[in-house]
Amino acid sequence: MTINMKDHKKRFESRYQSKELPWDIKRPDKNLVEAVEKFGIKRGNALDVGCGTGDNAIWLAQQGFEVTGADLSPEAIKMAEDKINQAGVEANLITLDFLKKKIQEQPFDFIFDRGCFHTFDEVKTRKAFAKQVYDQLEKDGLWLTLMGSYDDGRLDIGPPKRKAMDIVLAAEDYFEILSLTRSRFDSNDEIPSIIWVCLMKKRNS
């Protein structure tokens, strides 16, 4: 079944308006923090895709990145603007469909998504997402994605769950996989969901 992006946008906009946001943990995800430190990701032009209410974008800005945050939901961007103003950092925030539009501030040195890539069920849609990331990265640019893992077992609750092969099928044509590890979402849940933490580098050809 082909994804209807209007319905996709409406679903997330409704969640933000109702404040039903289990993924909004009021802090940067520890997996992002650990990856930036562990791999020495250089400070440069960064994009947070599906930035939500902005906690990860704020952290990236505080670390010296020039940050753009993008989200499908206008309400999410409004909430992110409030948080960014309160934090006293600079970040460019935009509302757009990442699958359809390129971002003016491209190319980026680093693109991050926390639970955006994994929302798409179809292989061809995930592949289109990976191609968009590829097209908007500098040479040797890095993409860090956090996505729900099939290994979690709880397939009917929490975030969408994907297999490691789903990452490979979508991204390997465009990216060299540098690291693929199992972790848990930084979450306020009693038992956070198991996830894949995948760092990839743009292929040169």
pLDDT in tens, 83-137: 999 999 999 999 999 999 889 888 999 999 999 999 899 999 999 999 999 999 9
Q: What residues in the chain have per-residue pLDDT under 70?
A: 1-6, 8-9, 12-13, 18
d(CA 49, CA 70): 5
pLDDT of residue 194: 96
Amino acid at 21: L
d(CA 185, CA 147): 9
pLDDT of residue 5: 64
Torsion angles phi and psi, residue 194, rounded to 5: -70, 140
State the DSSP H helix or E strand holding residue 93, giving kind and residue range, or none if neither: strand 92-95
State the DSSP H helix or E strand holding residue 145, giving kind and residue range, or none if neither: strand 137-148
Assigned token pair, 160: 């969408």
Q: Is 56:48 a contact under the CB 8 Å cutoff?
A: yes
Phi/psi class of residue 40: alpha, beta or left (left: φ > 0; alpha: ψ in -120 to 50)? left
pLDDT of residue 158: 81
